[in-house]
Copies of this chain bind each other. A is one copy, B any other.
């Protein structure tokens, strides 16, 4: 019992000095410990009212006039400029729209067209979130490149004079491993290749530094740590130096320099809007726009510090509560420099264990076959949540006959 109290007390002490603790009140949360914000971020409380206004006044009353009068038409680049500082981009380089998969397609095909002639290989993270690999494979097939799956650690050796582009994940969705974006980008450039990064599992959880590290192209979703809502539109970053030669494989009419001329010849817009495709999905996009208000005044350095403290503390609690006989094994790196904002635990019977955790009010998710995944979103997850999650996990394992003894 004393151990439990100790960690509970420690959690309370950590929560008491958490400078981000006040942000939790901005979200619609209950007594669930919600550790799946790395899959679907929680609802910011003000979003329903904002969407109600978009639907009833902007769509319902102004109707077609809202494309101009409510700023719908320019929403993709305007909201892109709100995401830009969260990923270390100057304005004018991020545009919102479409899904991550579609943006991966734009980025990879465009990267092959930006690359020097004669380079015929695309390297892709072999353990990537699958859509990136599938889409990169399609891009390779359509552009006549060879797709080379490679572990991120082996990218430096795999780079060569044939490499056109490298597509990598900043944080591995399964293990939570943080890859070395600055180092790998520099390696790609040294080999004469372009670096394309998928930020789905890092944006909103840690500093990314796209401009600072010279990333060429990047994509990411907005429904995880950015809390944009289920399936909210993704974004595309094209570094300013590449925008003039950015040649989209999806040159939809809203990326035209003069879309309402409706001419049969395509002339691309300048800047970030060149990455647009079709008519923007306004309801999902303006929910995201509203949701981004929760970031006003937040320092990404503070987010990162809290994220690491949370995952450290969760791992400590797991270590204390769950017997050290291999019942669970972390597959997330211990080193801070290699850790995103999630902890992934390998566990026998992970499926039923997660089902029971959810039933007891601790929501993580399962990555088949055997990974329990717990995401820590610093804007609304606290240290008491981390302690309760670890304690509940130990209780579930004990109740399943694993012989765990938990105080209290």
Interface residues of A (CB under 8 A from B): 28, 30, 34, 36, 39-40, 42-43, 47-48, 51-52, 55-56, 58-61, 63-67, 72, 98-102, 105, 109, 126-131, 133-135, 137-138, 142-143, 149, 174, 221, 223, 229-234, 248-254, 256, 259-264, 266, 277-285, 287, 358, 363, 365, 367-368
Contact = CB atoms under 8 A, between A and B. Distances in A.
Given A61-B30, A134-B251, A137-B266, A283 B232 contact: yes
B131 A253 contact: yes
Copies of this protein chain in the complex: 2
The 8 closest A-B pairs by CB, nearest first: A99-B278, A101-B252, A101-B278, A230-B282, A131-B253, A43-B60, A231-B281, A28-B60
Nearest to A36: B64
A309 to B, nearest CB: 24
Nearest to A227: B59
Contacts of A277: 99, 101-102
A363 B64 contact: yes
Contacts of A98: 98-99, 102, 278
Contacts of A363: 63-65
Contacts of A48: 52, 55-56, 60
A56 B230 CA distance: 12
Report which residue of A72, A98, A230, A287 has the largest number of chain B beta carbons within 10 angstroms of its beta carbon: A230
11 contacts: A42-B63, A43-B56, A55-B229, A58-B230, A100-B279, A130-B256, A134-B266, A232-B283, A233-B281, A234-B278, A261-B368
A52 B99 CA distance: 23
Contact of A64 (B39, B51, B248): B39
A40 B259 CA distance: 17
A154 B1 CA distance: 85
Given A232-B283, A252-B134, A102 B100 contact: no
B64 A129 contact: no
Contact of A142 (B249, B260, B278): B249
Contact of A252 (B131, B149, B278): B131
A376 to B, nearest CB: 15
